[in-house]
């Protein structure tokens, strides 16, 4: 089972501080000296207590939070690009074809049917609509979303159902990098197992993943390596 070590993510000395101008300019250092590497087919789990900066690191890796220093190297189209310095257009390209993000909450556009929400990332990268919808259906089926709900917008669903739609949306694409922010938070045991299975398949397909999971059991099942975020704690 030896795959060639391809670094998909190379973070070097990344740092983040929030300056709260509405609170008299209070500076909140979140993390500094964040350095780690993730290879293809590997799942890294970020660990540390809440408030340690796990989500902030994930958001910096998605280009959602800006980086105040250091480098966020992402392998995109065969070259390493620094997301910390990339233009908005480049970040959007990276998100379209390289990095997928599964957040805890679904931010869906009103009125769009569930099946289309899930199929959308495939259509955006050029798959024909019917094929994308077929794959979306298979994933929804696996995640136990009954077919009678597929034509409805997910905003009408329960929290757990919305999260599963979100997972289907995140896992459907063929992105070589996936960021997972508590993907199993409000799921029952049966659906948690499905997600663990999906993560396993992604590993075998060579996808590099970085995850935040609080459940020890899940962490044990998916983590190839654990990165302790408290070592990046910024001096307050």
Partner 1 sequence: MAETRDAKHDQPLLVAEGLGKTYGRLAACRDISFALYAGEVLAIVGESGSGKSTLLQLLSAQLTPTAGRVSYRMRDGVLRDLASLGEAERRFLFRTDWGFVHQDPAQGLRMAVSAGANVGERLMAVGWNHYGRIRRTASSWLERVEIDTARIDDAPRTYSGGMRQRLQIARNLVTEPRLVFMDEPTGGLDVSVQARLLDLMRNLVSELGLAAIVVTHDLAVARLLSHRVMVMKGGQVIETGLTDQVLDDPHEPYTQLLVSSILPP
Distant-in-sequence, close-in-space partners of 199: CB < 8 Å, separation ≥ 6: 43, 180, 183, 209, 211, 222
For residue 98, the minimal CB distance to partner 1 (Å) is: 15
Among residues 65 and 160, whose Cβ is nearest to partner 1?
65
For residue 87, the minimal CB distance to partner 1 (Å) is: 9
Q: Which of 5, 26, 92, 205 binds partner 1 (CB under 8 A)?
A: 92
Task: State yes or no: residue 235 binds partner 1 (CB under 8 A).
Answer: no
* Binding pattern for the stretch 184-213 against partner 1, x by CB under 8 A and - elsewhere: ------------------------------
Please give the helix or strand (H or E) that residue 29 lies within, else none: strand 26-39
Task: State yes or no: residue 131 binds partner 1 (CB under 8 A).
Answer: no
Task: State yes or no: residue 152 binds partner 1 (CB under 8 A).
Answer: no
Task: State yes or no: residue 125 binds partner 1 (CB under 8 A).
Answer: no
Query: How far, CA to CA in Å, does 133 sit from each of 137, 155, 172, 199?
Result: 6, 19, 10, 21
Cβ–Cβ < 8 Å for 40, 215: no
The DSSP letter of residue 165 is H
For residue 101, the minimal CB distance to partner 1 (Å) is: 10
For residue 167, the minimal CB distance to partner 1 (Å) is: 20
Distant-in-sequence, close-in-space partners of 143: CB < 8 Å, separation ≥ 6: 164, 165, 167, 168, 191, 194
Task: State yes or no: residue 63 binds partner 1 (CB under 8 A).
Answer: yes
Q: Which of 14, 91, 145, 218 binds partner 1 (CB under 8 A)?
A: 91
Q: Are strands 208-212 and 43-47 parallel, antiparallel or unpaired?
A: parallel
Q: From 3-11, 88-96, 197-205, 226-234, give the range in contact with partner 1 by CB under 8 A.
A: 88-96
Among residues 18 and 131, whose Cβ is nearest to partner 1?
18
Q: How far apart are the first and last CA of the chain?
A: 44
CA dihedral 108, 113, 115, 116 (to 10 degrees): -70
CA distance 141 to 57: 32
Q: Which of 10, 29, 33, 65 binds partner 1 (CB under 8 A)?
A: 65
Task: State yes or no: residue 27 binds partner 1 (CB under 8 A).
Answer: no
Q: Which of 6, 35, 64, 135 binds partner 1 (CB under 8 A)?
A: 64
């Amino acid at each position: 089972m030896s795959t060639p070590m391809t670094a998909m993510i190379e973070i070097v000395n990344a740092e983040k501080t929030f300056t709260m101008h509405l609170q008299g300019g209070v500076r909140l250092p979140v993390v500094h000296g964040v350095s780690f590497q993730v290879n293809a087919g590997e799942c890294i789990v970020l660990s540390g207590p809440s408030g340690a900066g796990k989500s902030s690191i994930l958001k910096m890796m998605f280009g959602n939070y800006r980086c105040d220093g250091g480098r966020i190297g992402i392998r995109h189209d065969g070259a390493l690009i620094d997301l910390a310095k990339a233009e908005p257009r480049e970040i959007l390209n990276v998100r379209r074809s390289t990095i997928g993000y599964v957040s805890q909450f679904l931010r869906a556009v009103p009125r769009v049917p569930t099946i289309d929400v899930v199929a959308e990332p495939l259509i955006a990268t050029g798959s024909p609509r019917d094929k994308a919808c077929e794959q979306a259906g298979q994933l929804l089926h696996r995640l136990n979303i009954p077919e009678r709900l597929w034509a409805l917008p997910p905003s009408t669903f329960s929290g757990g159902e919305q999260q599963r739609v979100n997972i289907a949306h995140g896992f459907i694409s063929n992105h070589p990098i996936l960021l997972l922010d508590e993907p199993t938070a409000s799921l029952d045991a049966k659906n948690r197992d499905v997600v663990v299975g999906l993560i396993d398949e992604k590993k075998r397909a060579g996808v590099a993943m970085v995850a935040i999971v609080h459940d020890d059991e899940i962490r044990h099942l998916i983590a190839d390596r654990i990165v302790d975020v408290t070592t990046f704690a910024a001096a307050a």
